[in-house]
Amino acid sequence: MLLATASFLVFKAFLPKRIFEEGSSLTENVVIDSLLIEAVAEAEEEAVIDTLANEQIDFKPVKGVKFPSETFKVYKGDQFLVSFFEKLFQLEQNPTKKVRIAYFGDSMTDGDMIVKDFRTYFQQKFGGEGVGFVNITSESASSRNSITHEFSTNWKTYSYLKIKHPVSPFGVNGHLFFANDTLHDAWVKFRATRTRFASELGNPTLFYGKSRNTEGKVYQVIGVDTVYKKLKPNNKLNTLAFSSNGQKTMKINFTKADSIPLYGFNFDNGIGVHVDNFSSRGNSGLPLSTFDVDLMSQFQEQLHYDLIVLHYGTNVLNYGSYNYSWYEKRMNKVVAHLKKCFPGVAILVVSTADKSTKYDMEMKTDSAVVPLMLAQKKYAIQSESAFVNLYTLMGGDGSMVQWVDEEPARANKDYTHFNFRGAKDIAKMIFNQIYEGYEKYKKIRPKDKPIKKPFKKDSTKVVKDSVVYEE
């Protein structure tokens, strides 16, 4: 033991600073010392900060609204949420209206983590009930507590993470499902939980695609009755509504439905705010570029999204380099594609959170975190999207270690993912930034201007000017 200890102390000076290899080197055939990689990364990082920190970002007014200019260092981009803020304003004035958010993410939002609480904060403030869009099957179903989700084992699943050219276009959730077992009916079952604002399965609606199969049916057992509904896959996107009489549990069986592309079910009460969680483990965000524009336009006609959140980074950090210009450029194109798919929808980019890696036997912020966060902020600015700096909000350098070590802990021992307690705090941080921007919007929003109607005369009197107000 003494010999081993002495040997370790002697050779420690020659060991690389980074104990665990993070990925491939900068080139396949050249071995570069990890200290050199870190030095280059730090030099690049400092250069980027020095060059961009005080760069001024000015905004063009939208519908008479112009937020103050910002520097790169503190960029939030509330200007690009004006259309979303206006929808929230109209909802506040008329609670029968609705606002919808699509929240795209990776394993950080798996099992409805973060999004569940993000949804709750919005519904608590603006109204709305329901968990939104839920896939036919899900790899995280067992860990999701905002809805109980079960399904048979005879589903065929396709994901945009693995297939570029599917037999039918991917749905807005990036997935495609087929009940290909002709001998046994496939089924899916949902049960509402005690989650706040999601204690019922409001307005269950099935979304499915186009097929030549005209024999497909679904059936539901209600009491002693079995209710059949015919699938009519005539259009690129089709919907089928089910009873919404306050039910808390539903099981839908699919018979003779092979070759009909199925996407998922939507649950909401039709008013207030609704948030759909489209999480995919291992997703970098780049697969969103494979969305079919025509199909997405039809999803938009049905669901009416007002905001798209892009929350990625966990699966990009291990690329093996600290130069993320490639990611910046490609995600810029992804946002441009999303704007074609969902015209007029506001985009919000949420940066990578802090992540810790072992250096010199000590857990510290991974050297790739800040370069990736800067690349995400740059593509947000270039694509005219709003930005949430999650790395800064949670405390910046070394914050993940604090979140793991504190009592009670708010993050897991992988020093990457949050637990339920931490996820709730992260959701609150993101919601608070959006809501603060909304409060500023209400102060600078042009007041509704009065419009004078012309004089109206009749045989007995003259009606004086009446004043109405524009919405």
The band of 7, judged by pLDDT with boundaries at 50, 70 and 90, is low
- The pTM for the full model equals 0.85
Question: Would you call 438 helix, strand, or coil by DSSP?
Answer: helix
Closest CA to 108 of 241, 284, 269: 284
**Is the pLDDT at 264 greater than 70, yes or no?**
yes
DSSP 8-state secondary structure symbol assigned to residue 448:
P
Q: What is the pLDDT of residue 40?
A: 35
Give me the CATH code for the 32-128+278-437 domain, please: 3.40.50.1110
CATH class for the domain made up of 133-269: mainly beta
Diameter over CA atoms, the chain: 114
Please state the rounded mean pLDDT for residues 374-381.
97
What would the pLDDT profile of 267-307 be if each residue is shown by its tens digit?
Answer: 999 999 999 999 999 899 999 999 999 999 999 999 999 99
CA distance 180 to 184: 9
Question: Would you call 187 helix, strand, or coil by DSSP?
Answer: strand
Q: Could you tell me the CA-to-CA distances from 202 to 135, 196, 218, 237, 325 in Å, in that order?
A: 16, 13, 19, 21, 44
**β 156-159/205-208 pair status:** unpaired
Domain boundaries, the chain: 32-128+278-437, 133-269
Q: What is the pLDDT of residue 263?
A: 98
* C-beta separation of 79 from 67 below 8 A: yes
